[in-house]
Structure 1
Amino acid sequence: MQVDVDGAVRIARLAKQFEWTGYVDDVTRFTEVAGWVSEWSGENGMTFQTNLEVVRPEARVFMRKRVFSDITMYVTEILDQSVPWVDSRESIVDSYAELVFALEPVLGAPTRTEPGVDAVMAWDASGISICLRSLSRSIVLELANPKF
């Protein structure tokens, strides 16, 4: 499974150090610092092309009015439906462990963990919650606005 560990750590470090206000303007400032390219912007969201080294280097932003909910990006490839579930789970679990191992020195001990098939590990920083989320066929890094 293709996973961009260095890219995920870079984004998490940027998010931790960024001065978040919770408003949509943060998204524009953050994505400029991260070096992402805007692809689409609408009333309830935005999409960006990231510089993460994965097959779908995209980030999606969900928002309502002037407040953003979260910025979610793939940090792994999305496994094909033809890959047997047992094989995909093994790849997901291994990649998730690799990402956690790399993120903990940067973010410290997680403030929230949800073990299981759809595992979540979250770290609260000033104005943002940085979440690593295991999905059925990929792993995403989510920057969630605690004010939303």
Structure 2
Amino acid sequence: MMSSDVAGAVRVARAAARYEWTWTRANLIRFCENLGWEASDTEDGVTVTTNLVVRKPTAMIYLDAAALADLEEFDQDLLEVVVIVARAESSETSAATQSCFTRIAAALSTTLGPGTHSYPSGEPAPAWDLEKVFIRLGMVPGLIGLYLVNPAYQASIDAFQDEHDIDD
């Protein structure tokens, strides 16, 4: 059975859309505390346990790595946060994961409006380009994540994809 928290995904997206992001580690810790999450900042990075109702309620934190710092493009150290909003059992089918993804995307669209990005087919993608955060819903086999992305980082990804004619 797919373990998902649709209401939790909406709550996180709404909080992220309203938050005053500065994209620093300290700012991330405050965001987590505001949501009642456990976050610890160590020399090795930030670990986060969320209060979403999913198996292994975690968020993955991606910080500006040394390779990216060498490019001197980013002055913030936080690139993106991936909040796990659904996790499948090992025997879960891709159809069940897709169905769950569709439900979460619909709930997010009701809250945030239609997506601001499109798939190559022209259909709206579950992604929202907001002033202080880029929010998108992503899926890999057995896992659905709500991505909270630093807009400067997302702009660099978009520019690279445009330059190299890469579709999402």
Query: TM-score category by the smaller chain?
Result: 0.7 to 0.9
Equivalent residues, number: 139
| Identity level (%) | 31
Give the superposition deviation at 1:114.
3.6
Amino acid at match of 2:16: A
Structure 1 partner of 2:42:
41
Structure 2 partner of 1:51:
51
Structure 1 partner of 2:131:
126
Amino acid at match of 1:97: T
Contact 1:123 / 1:129 at 8 angstroms: preserved in 2?
yes
Give the superposition deviation at 1:3.
1.1
The structure-2 alpha-carbon separation of the partners of 1:114 and 1:104, relative to structure 1 and needing over 3 Å to count, comes to: same
**1:110 and 2:115 are equivalent in the alignment:** yes
| Structure 1: 4+ residue segments shifted above 3 A | 113-116
Gaps of 5+ in 1: none
- What are the superposed Cα offsets for residues 38-92 of structure 1, whole Å, 9 maximum, x if unpaired? 256334x311110000011001211127520111121112331xx2xxx521111
Contact 1:39 / 1:49 at 8 angstroms: preserved in 2?
no
Contact 1:49 / 1:57 at 8 angstroms: preserved in 2?
yes
Determine which of 66, 88, 102 is the counterpart of 1:78.
88
Gaps of 5+ in 2: 66-75, 154-168
Counterpart-to-counterpart distance in 2, 1:42 and 1:142:
23
Q: What is the TM-score with the length of structure 2 in the denominator?
A: 0.75
- What are the superposed Cα offsets for residues 81-115 of structure 1, whole Å, 9 maximum, x if unpaired? xx2xxx52111111011001111121111111447
Structure with bigger gyration radius = 2
Contact 2:63 / 2:79 at 8 angstroms: preserved in 1?
yes
Counterpart-to-counterpart distance in 1, 2:30 and 2:140:
28
Q: Which has the higher contact order (CA 8 A, sep 6+)?
A: 1
Aligned-pair Cα RMSD in Å: 2.0
Give the superposition deviation at 1:142.
0.9
